[in-house]
Amino acid sequence: MSRREVEQDQGFAQFEKFLDEWSRRDFLKRAGGAAAYMAFMAGGLEFLAACAGSTTTTSVTPKKGGHIVEGNFSDIRTLNSMLSSDTASNQLIGLMFDGLTNYKKNGDLIPALAADLPKTSPDGLTYTFKLRSGLKWSDGQPLTADDVVFTYDLAYASKYKDVASPRRGDLEKYVASVTAPDPQTVVIQTTQVFAPFLANHTQYGILPKHVLGSLAPKEINTTDFNSGPSVTNGAFKFVKWDKGQQVTLARNDNYWNGPAYLDTYVYKVVPDSVAVTNQLKTGEIDVGPVDPSQFDAIKTASNVVMTEFPVPTFTFYAYNLDPSKLGGQLFSDKAVRQALLFALNRQQIVSAVFFGHGTVANSVEPPTSWSYKDKPKVLYSFDKAKAESLLDGAGWMKGSDGIRAKNGQKLKFTMITNAGNKQRESMLTVMQQSWKDIGVDATPSLIQFPQLVSQIVSIRTFDVFLVGFNWAIDPDESPLFHSRNTAAGGFNGADFKNSEVDSILDQALVTLDKTKRKQLYGQFQDIMSDAVPSPIILFNTGIWGVSTRVQGTDFGPFNQFGQRPWNSKVWVNDGK
């Protein structure tokens, strides 16, 4: 090894520390997008998720022509809608492929390739979609119900089991059949009543059967189509992908919603969130997500308009409630869990760690959800005295060393999160300090993100973990809180088991009536506010910077990444 390699290694370690919002490490974040997936997030892009506030209030007639460059720090993996599981890929796919339905920015379902929202059979098991008439692929071929059937086949039919689709889990479980009685009609038969089905599973970009239909299942995983689709049905068609740099798209004249105003759409991969800010300022990029830490650096730039809105992305910590573990012994009494939450000044965390860009959580449901209950049964404001009296009442008394103990057991534990995420590291420090103030000895410990996820879903030897998560549009929260998901591989790593919660969540999933569901999720939020197995620190906001030359964007909580029904309506006022 030459001396210089050693030098570079040291430089590299500093480099990592330096870019604290270093986001390329977030392998598993990237929730949301076409599938409205939920996943644990390493931190980065998810903080930028977000709602309302149209950036355009102009009455000027849109001009045809020109280009925009959208910048982001995540590279694309695949352009195949049935293989993708990350936000960046979903975003590009959303520009080129429409699904049966789409979302408005508030999460309301709207038809896309379907002419209307589907008819649901009285038993709630069958959805019938009518496609728009005259749908065409970018190569002029007609887009028919056969293409829809083919696309869904890839992710649920047994003959396509070798297709590496991350969608298969849910689709295999819920889809009985997808058929095309005629070229304009798609019938989806489900195996059971499943309330989130339309919101979760009808946005996948439809793929061209006449291009991919002849491929063997394994060939679907590796076909050139995945890195350069020759045929599309969305607002844009594929031109080229300069690997590691940018993807270039051009207008699709056959788009059902009218040809896009823009000639060219470029998705540029930039080094990190600081680069997004820099390049918005220099005009090298026209659109990009802004990290909260960069907000002040960019708000003075006269060429950039900022949009900010709440998002269903959040940071929470969870107690290990498994009675066979240390956590179970310390935290099984809900008074302890409540006391620890009362002792936290979460507003201060939002101000100091997120520069005020976020909202202290009152409920386990996000404020962006139609099921959100603003004031559930128990509300937690910062109240140190209350925290101390709760602990006293529960029998945890301060010892001579200032640490509380009960029956010889000290209130002493370790908190884990992923190294490299400065925001989470800071939060653990605040928690350590706040809890020390009430006689609780909590020590932060930083581990790598893949190890953190392993801790949550399988190993589960932690006492307390802190991580980010993102909810889909539907208010179902079974993945984190249903006892079924305490099984290995499930996301309920906290081992939270509450039979009342289980039955409410199960009932809400098979109830199609929204009013009834809202009532059930209200009860759920009340119980959760009392039990606080996994307190949420804050819900984030999404912040987007858009160049003043770009018109027609309309970012919102559910129109950030994959789903943007306004793709073809974006235009530039300088025609360049």
Partner 1 sequence: MLAKYLVRRFLASIVVVLGVTAITLILMDRTRGTYVPGIDLNPALRPEDIARLRAGLGLDRPFYEWYLTWLWNVLHGDFGRSMIDGSPVLSHILDRLPNTLELTGTAILLGVLISIPLGVIGALRRGSKTDHALTVVSVAGFAVPQFWLGLLLILVFSVTFEQHGLPWLPSSGATSPVGGGDILDRIEHLVMPATVLSFFYLSLWSRFTRSSMLEVLSQDYIRTARAKGMAERRVVYLHGLRNAVIPLITLVGLELPGLVSGGLVVEVVFGWPGIGKLAFERALQYDYSTVMGIVFFATLLVVAGNLLADVLYAVLDPRIRYA
Task: Restricting to residues 191-230, name those near partner 1 by CB under 8 A.
Answer: 221-224, 226-227
Least distance in angstroms from the C-beta of 538 to partner 1: 22
Least distance in angstroms from the C-beta of 468 to partner 1: 13
Least distance in angstroms from the C-beta of 356 to partner 1: 24
Q: Which of residues 476-505 bind partner 1 (CB under 8 A)?
A: 478-479, 485, 488-491
Q: Is 243 in the site for partner 1 (CB under 8 A)?
A: yes
Q: Which of residues 72-131 bind partner 1 (CB under 8 A)?
A: 75, 77-78, 83, 85-86
Q: Which of residues 37-76 bind partner 1 (CB under 8 A)?
A: 37-40, 67, 69, 75
Q: Is 155 in the site for partner 1 (CB under 8 A)?
A: no
Least distance in angstroms from the C-beta of 181 to partner 1: 28
3-state secondary structure of 18: helix
- b/e per residue 73-100 (b: at least 16 CB within 10 A): bbebbbbbbbbbbbbbbbbbbbbbbbbb
Q: What's the CA gap between 211 and 188, in Å, rounded?
A: 23
Least distance in angstroms from the C-beta of 16 to partner 1: 9
In the structure encoding, which two tokens stand for residue 70, read together? Answer: 């959208």
**∠128-131-132 over CA atoms, to 5°?**
145
Contact 394/333 with Cβ under 8 angstroms?
Answer: yes
Q: Is 158 in the site for partner 1 (CB under 8 A)?
A: no
Residue 35 or residue 330: which is nearer to partner 1 going by CB? 35
Q: Which of residues 5-24 bind partner 1 (CB under 8 A)?
A: 7-8, 10-12, 14-15, 18, 24
Q: Which helix (H) or strand (E) holds 11?
A: helix 3-18
Q: What's the CA gap between 395 and 141, in Å, rounded?
A: 73
Q: Which of 140, 159, 156 is nearest to 148 (CA)?
A: 156
62, 166, 259, 367: residue in contact with partner 1 (rule CB under 8 A):
166
- Number of H helices and E strands in the chain, helices first, is 18, 22
Q: Which of residues 312-371 bind partner 1 (CB under 8 A)?
A: none
Q: Is 416 in the site for partner 1 (CB under 8 A)?
A: no
Q: Which of 302, 306, 308 is nearest to 281 (CA)?
A: 302
Q: Strands 264-269 and 67-72: what pairing?
A: parallel
Residue 484 or residue 514: which is nearer to partner 1 going by CB? 484
Q: Which of residues 425-454 bind partner 1 (CB under 8 A)?
A: 448, 450-451, 453-454
Q: Is 523 in the site for partner 1 (CB under 8 A)?
A: no
3-state secondary structure of 95: helix
Q: Which of 285, 392, 301, 337 is nearest to 70 (CA)?
A: 285
Backbone angles phi and psi of 73, in degrees to 5: -100, 5
64, 159, 161, 514: residue in contact with partner 1 (rule CB under 8 A):
161
Least distance in angstroms from the C-beta of 460 to partner 1: 12
Contact stretch for partner 1 (CB under 8 A) within 32-40, 207-215, 436-444, 532-540: 32-40
Contact 107/309 with Cβ under 8 angstroms?
Answer: no
108, 116, 162, 182: residue in contact with partner 1 (rule CB under 8 A):
162
Residue 196 or residue 376: which is nearer to partner 1 going by CB? 196
Least distance in angstroms from the C-beta of 484 to partner 1: 11
In the structure encoding, which two tokens stand for residue 71, read together? Answer: 């910048």
Q: Which of residues 278-297 bind partner 1 (CB under 8 A)?
A: 278-279, 281-284
Q: Which helix (H) or strand (E) holds 494?
A: none
Q: Is 460 in the site for partner 1 (CB under 8 A)?
A: no
> Quick one: CA dihedral 68, 74, 80, 85, positive or negative?
negative
